[in-house]
Amino acid sequence: MIITTSDFDALEKLARVQLATTLPGPKPVCLVGTRGTDDRANLAPFSSVTHLGSSPLLIGMVTRPVTVDRHTLRNIIDTKSWTINQVTRSTYPQAHQCAARYPNDTSEFATTGLTEHTLDGIHAPFVKECPIRYALELEDLIDIPTNGTKLIVGRVTLIDIPDDSLAEDGSINLAENHSVASTALDTYFSITQIARLPYAKL
Amino acid sequence: MIITTSDFDALEKLARVQLATTLPGPKPVCLVGTRGTDDRANLAPFSSVTHLGSSPLLIGMVTRPVTVDRHTLRNIIDTKSWTINQVTRSTYPQAHQCAARYPNDTSEFATTGLTEHTLDGIHAPFVKECPIRYALELEDLIDIPTNGTKLIVGRVTLIDIPDDSLAEDGSINLAENHSVASTALDTYFSITQIARLPYAKL
């Protein structure tokens, strides 16, 4: 079936958001940890995390103009520091709940029962229950003028993963670490590795 | 285990890329279809597709500064038109092969056996074998100065999905449509839906 722009515009608002956020396909879901200048910790789920480059190691994520990530963006601008924590089969319900509009004086760690994990030299908090996590420093904040969103560009400064989980070739088995995928801000998937293919040649 | 910036920099180049591209978690994998001003069709896999907004419906994707997506970027700049086709359990081997550095006069459709599907009014080709696909028009091309990549911002102009696959609430079941996730440019996952959660409230 064909859905034209006018068909799309005629949908109810929530249905438009549901359909639009399904189009990319299965996406990452990560908890972004920040700590404000008042030392309060904050957690927010992001599904727009993407690799921008390996040398230097740059990761991008998109902030929506409003709602859940306001505190996150403010803390990143104020402190230049954040963590990204891959959400797993045992943490996705708590990660989902972190999207609720808690006031700024409420820590999502306290309300969801996730545990703060701190490392020397890193201002932002990690999530203890998430096995694959890393810290970033703000490299750039790029406006997307069409709709007022921003691309937050971070340089990875430290990676913390389970012992023995890094293979010699640099790979980490995401399925064995129970990382989940998501779509449409409300749907979660477990993943099963079906192939690892050699570099594509002519 | 902790991997510092200097640990990361000491890895072999391929291991650095492998590790860096694993950090976001399970990602989408989509085939981007374009058609040059010479009418030649082109297909390239992208794993950086992300939702930027629902009103208007905007989708972004990141081009690497070199390699596979050079033809894609040139065609998008020349024609303003492209399609995004979600890769499935039956098409990921061909999608992976589209990353090979074919010369510009070679169509990845011809070399991989995927089938061009055209729709009136859409310049770029769709992939017949991919059930969830949509067409975009170039809205903006945003430089990421830190490493020379670009964020391509597209406005969705048409969505083509299987009949009866759109639920009243705007959702499409990605698992039933056999969409796959990927990581590190070489690893593919099937997905199994484990939950769809209600909107998070206080």
ipTM value: 0.95
CA distances from B177 to A8, B89, B174, B190 (A): 21, 9, 5, 11
Name the band, by pLDDT with cuts 50, 70 and 90, for residue B67: low
Pairwise CB contact (< 8 Å): B147 & A52: yes
Question: Is the bond into B103 cis (omega within 30 degrees of 0)?
Answer: no
Is the pTM here over 0.90, yes or no?
A: yes
CA A71 – CA A32 distance, rounded (Å): 11
What are the DSSP E strand ranges found in B105-186? 116-117, 126-127, 133-144, 149-160, 181-183
Nearest Cα residue in chain A from B164: A1
- Tens of pLDDT, residue by residue over B140-180, are 999 999 999 999 999 999 999 999 999 999 999 999 999 99
Pairwise CB contact (< 8 Å): B25 & A25: no
Nearest to A153 among B24, B146, B164 (CB): B146
CA A46 – CA A43 distance, rounded (Å): 10
Half-sphere exposure of B56 (CA within 13 A, CB side): 19
Tell me the two tokens of residue B8: 């990361």
Which 8-state DSSP code applies to residue B155?
Answer: E
Task: Quote the minimal CA–CA distance from A39 to chain B in Å.
Answer: 22
Please enumerate in sequence order all residues whose Cβ is within 8 A of that of B144, keeping only pairs 6 or more positions apart, or say none: A52, A60, A140, A142, A151, A153, B62, B150, B151
Fold of the domain spanning A25-162+169-190: Pnp Oxidase; Chain A (2.30.110)
CA A73 – CA B59 distance, rounded (Å): 21
Interface mutation vs chain B, best among A51, A144, A168, A178, most B CBs within 10 Å: A51
Identify the bridge partners of residue B138 per DSSP, sorted by sequence position.
B154
CA distances from A183 to A149, B90, B147 (A): 19, 21, 29
C-beta of residue A93 within 8 angstroms of C-beta of residue A85:
no
CA B130 – CA B126 distance, rounded (Å): 8
Find the range with the poorest average confidence among B29-33, B67-71, B151-155: B67-71
Fold of the domain spanning B26-187: Pnp Oxidase; Chain A (2.30.110)
- From first to last of the 202 residues of chain A, give the pLDDT tens digit: 999 999 999 999 999 999 999 999 999 999 999 999 999 999 999 999 999 999 999 999 999 775 545 789 999 999 999 999 999 999 999 999 999 989 888 999 999 999 999 999 999 999 999 999 999 999 999 999 999 999 999 999 999 999 999 999 999 999 999 999 999 999 999 999 999 999 999 8
